[in-house]
Amino acid sequence: MKDIQRIIDYKFNNIKNLDEALTHSSYVNENKTIPMIHNERLEYLGDAVLELVVSAYIFHQFPSMSEGDMTRLRAGVVCEPSLAICARKIGLGGFLKMGKGEVLNGGRERDSVLADAFEAVIGAIYLDGGYEAAQRFILSYLENDIHSLKGLKWLADCKTHLQEQLQKDSQDLIEYRVIGEEGPEHEKTFTVELTHGGRFLGQGTGRNKKEAEQAAARFAIEENQLYG
């Protein structure tokens, strides 16, 4: 607990908030005799706080930006791959209390688990220290992303943008294929492989097939610099 508080530069007044944020549902399911609360409620709260903080920041920083562009920018910042990267910067996967089965299935490195845990930590900080504490934490990880992604309208629909870029020079088939499914039924993670004319372009994961396809398309755009 001391280590993660040092890393995130926030000291909890009530350490139970942090403990709950770091408790995955799989751990609770495997230890039903011990009274514990998993982090899904805090994830719900953190998601709402995250949306508000990023929305308010974009609104004030870019006064001439249209509603549509603000929405697209927020979507590019507040997404599973972006939040998973933030979680990895903290080393969050190593701090999570998880069930043995989830660990064996690679849960500590799964984007969906890490993104959810990051949101749960936001929720815990908000409960413990209020809006300003949560705002400081969020912007310390996402402020640079907001500015670097400003103007990248393709983030709203990576699949459509990728298709437009590829079809400028080729009519070869663009194919998204599910190559993996992990996790319990209520918390599945899909992995999709993207090919163009049979050539591998990227891979992505998500909580559903559509999200995984968008992640794969974003990877392909960034990896191949298909910005348009």
9: annotated active-site residue: no
47: annotated active-site residue: yes
- Describe the strand order of the beta sheet including 189-196 as a list of residue ranges: 174-182, 189-196, 199-206
Which listed residue (47, 80, 116, 211) is catalytic?
47
Which listed residue (43, 80, 119, 145) is catalytic?
119
Q: Which residues are part of the catalytic machinery? A: 47, 119
